[in-house]
Amino acid sequence: MTPQPRTSALAAASAVLQRDLVLALRRPSQLLQPLAFFVVVTLLFPLGYTPELAKLRSIAPGVLWVGALLASVLALDSLFRDDAADGTLEQFVLAGQPLAALLFAKTAAHWLLTGLPLALMAPVTGIALGVPIEAMPGILCALCIGTVTLSLIGAIGAGLTLGVRRGGVLSSLLTLPLSVPVLVFGARATELAITGGSPSGALYLLAALMVLGLTLAPLAAAAAVRIGLE
């Protein structure tokens, strides 16, 4: 029984990431739901509000960001649930690897599967809301950065509500208030991009939030998951 060569945390995390991507692609419905939700939400507003593009443009930042926020909350509900139910999460804890790294990989997969498609979807919904083409790079950038932070915050919420019934509502209750800064800065950057201003100030703030999230959220999520598994 020779001591085992352990892989680095990085390799382990990349295995987890790959596994989650493979799994998601086997179940395309999980991919589509947040996206479909996002589209329905963003298109709902023109319906109830006004068909005038000029007016729609003014609500576009809010609509895009609230849509992104809600879609990501919706998808996060299931971030750890399946793995907890079938015992995979337990095996992660016992893998002899830093749990935070493995959970970070799961969160990254989640972002690739919801946050990124959502951001890529924004130009389409943006056009429907009368957003000028020139604003798209800024908006895309803001959504990409912002949704990373949203996923990270959501991972904490999902971890905390692991053992809780009707955890979906509770985890959204926990994460949405914490996501307010992302919403504010994101909407601000989007608004500036639409009105022709420079969104870089708001983008920096968004990026700062992301960095903070990247450093702290995996640790908090790991602590939460350990507690939730007991």
Q: Of the two residues 11 and 173, which places its CB atom closer to its own copies in the complex?
A: 173
Please, what is the Cα angle at 19 between 16 and 24, to 5 degrees? 125
Residue 224: name the closest of 173, 174, 166 by CA.
Answer: 174
**CA dihedral for 192, 121, 156, 175, sign (positive or negative):** positive
CB of 91 to its own copies, least distance (A): 19
Between 136 and 176, CB nearer to another protein: 176
Helix (H) or strand (E) holding 226: helix 200-229
Query: Which part of the chain contacts its own copies (CB under 8 A), choosing from 2-10, 26-34, 101-109, 138-146?
Result: 26-34
* Residue 116 touches which member of another protein, its own copies, none, C-beta under 5-8 Å by kind: none
Q: CB-wise, 120 or 173, nearer to another protein?
A: 173
Chain positions 184 to 203 lying near its own copies, rule: CB under 8 A, are: 184, 187-188, 190-191
CB of 204 to its own copies, least distance (A): 18
Does 172 engage in binding with its own copies (CB under 8 A)?
Answer: yes
Closest CA to 84 of 171, 25, 4: 171
Mark 53-92 with x for binding to its own copies (rule: CB under 8 A) and - for no binding. -----xx-xxx-xx--xxx-xxx-xx---x--x-------
Alpha-carbon span 153 to 73, nearest angstrom: 10
Closest CA to 135 of 220, 92, 192: 192
> Which partner from the list its own copies, another protein, none does 87 bind, CB cut-off 5 to 8 Å by kind?
another protein
Q: How many residues does the chain have?
A: 230
